[in-house]
Amino acid sequence: MMAMGAMAALALRNLFAVAMLSGTYSLLAAALYVVLDAVDVAFTEAAVGAGISTVLLLGTLVLTDHHEKPNGRIHLPALLIVLAVGGLLFYGTLDMPAFGDPQAPIHQHVADHYIEESREEVGPPNIVTSVLASYRGYDTLGETTVIFTAAIGVLALIGRVRRIRTRDARSGDDP
């Protein structure tokens, strides 16, 4: 169902339908995480992916058109920036250890401590919850702050666009 939803979102030109499919996709992902016993990840996916992201997309659609413009040309500077950033991200992964490598740094010191001591030191029987709530509490707070700051930035930009359109409408300019 997730694959069908993703393919449908790529094919549709109605942006409202794409926003709804995106929220549905995130909700299905959250359900999958629950089945995989990653309830904390499911909660985050439901809150951020299906919740706030869908609300922000719908809020943006209030200020824009509901259909994708059939403009067949490619914006070359944007494409070059996306390719450059993608290349840098790929380059940054080249020195990472192989997936599942038992000699990776994460398997050498801290993981064993989390597995053996988290129940006594923190309390919850779920190791992931212990790690996120206690050992990495400041990191989780930082991630939440980044998401909150991004949401405030998007809302500020949307408000700026609305003020510009209102001013242009009053002056008689056609944007």
Q: What is the pLDDT of residue 173?
A: 55
Q: What is the pTM of this model?
A: 0.52
Q: Which residues pair with 67 in a beta bridge?
A: 14
Q: Environment class of residue 148 by beta-carbon count within 10 Å: exposed (0-12), middle (13-18) or buried (19+)?
A: exposed
Can you tell me the distance from the alpha carbon of 143 to that of 137, in angstroms, rounded to the nearest whole number?
A: 10
Q: What is the pLDDT of residue 99?
A: 80
- Cβ atoms within 10 Å of 27's Cβ, excluding its own: 19
E strand or H helix at 63: helix 53-63
Q: Is residue 58 a contact partner of residue 15, using CB atoms and an 8 Å limit?
A: no
Residue range 89-117, pLDDT digits in tens: 999 999 888 887 888 877 777 777 888 88
Q: What is the pLDDT of residue 174?
A: 52
